[in-house]
């Protein structure tokens, strides 16, 4: 069983397309050759940048997304330097220097994965907003206690009032089945045990 799974996995691994492991544009007519109406629609918005794929949502926009690392268009516009490097890229990559490889990468992408995953400091803004909200709430509560609420509790919240209210409820027989009166023994004149 496990050997047949390994054979299937090896066959699938051999089928990995060149596009899956390259950083250059695929020579796919569906992607690289747009109709005239699509060019008129997209290129005023993207400028002189290549549309290299479907992208995150099918629109030709650039987004650095960790979960979808293939943007629809290149990051930088085509300049003479970048076009010269792209021509040189079609040859042997060993002839490219490290700086040229980095320039090619930066022409296509804005950030590396480590730059995307780096802490942004956004937590500071969120924490500051949360603390500001808590402090404003505290000040509003203090203001309400001082200027809105009465200085003393209403008489209906005193212990004496609540005891008299309970006596009235028992005398009137309120909740005789499951309520307050069901716990009162009328014959003995005391609470049931």
Please give the residue range of the domain that contains residue 179. 150-193
Give CA–CA dist 84/78, Å, rounded: 10
Q: Are 165 and 95 contained in the same domain?
A: no
**Model confidence at 28, in pLDDT bands (50, 70, 90)?**
very low
Q: Which residue has the tokens 């691994």?
A: 13
- 89, 174: one domain: no
Q: How confident is the model at residue 29 (pLDDT cuts 50, 70, 90)?
A: very low
Q: Which is higher by pLDDT, 2 or 102?
A: 102
| Residue 4, in any domain of the structure | no
For the chain, what is the domain count? Answer: 3
**Residue 7 lies inside a defined structural domain of this protein:** no
Do 64 and 112 belong to one domain?
Answer: yes
Residues 106 and 31 in one domain: yes
Q: How much is the pTM?
A: 0.48
Q: Both tokens of residue 96?
A: 């490219």
Angle between helices 98-108 and 80-89 (to 10 degrees): 110
φ and ψ at residue 185, rounded to 5 degrees = -95, 105
The answer on 86 and 33 residing in a single domain is yes
Q: Do 25 and 76 belong together in one domain? A: yes
**12 part of a folded domain:** no
Residue 93 covered by a domain? yes
pLDDT tens for each residue of 100-119: 999 999 999 999 888 888 88
What confidence tens digit (pLDDT) does each residue in 72-98 have? 889 888 899 999 999 998 999 889 999
CA 147 to chain centre: 42
Element (H, E) at 98: helix 98-108
**166 lies in the same domain as 180:** yes
């Amino acid at each position: 069983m496990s050997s047949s799974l390994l054979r299937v996995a090896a066959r699938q691994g051999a089928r990995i397309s060149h596009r899956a492991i390259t950083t250059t544009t695929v020579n796919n007519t569906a992607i690289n050759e747009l109709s005239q109406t699509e060019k008129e629609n997209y290129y005023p918005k993207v400028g002189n940048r290549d549309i290299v794929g479907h992208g995150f949502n099918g629109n030709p926009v650039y987004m650095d997304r960790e979960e979808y690392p293939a943007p629809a268009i290149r990051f930088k516009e085509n300049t003479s330097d970048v076009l010269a490097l792209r021509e040189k890229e079609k040859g042997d990559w060993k002839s490219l220097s490290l700086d040229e490889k980095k320039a090619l990468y930066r022409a296509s992408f804005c950030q590396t994965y480590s730059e995307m995953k780096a802490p942004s400091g956004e937590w500071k803004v969120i924490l500051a907003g949360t603390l500001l909200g808590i402090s404003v709430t505290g000040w509003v509560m203090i203001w309400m206690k001082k200027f809105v609420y009465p200085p003393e509790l209403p008489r209906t919240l005193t212990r004496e009032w609540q005891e008299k209210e309970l006596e009235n409820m028992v005398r009137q027989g309120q909740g005789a089945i499951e309520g307050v009166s069901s716990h009162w023994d009328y014959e003995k004149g005391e609470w049931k045990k």
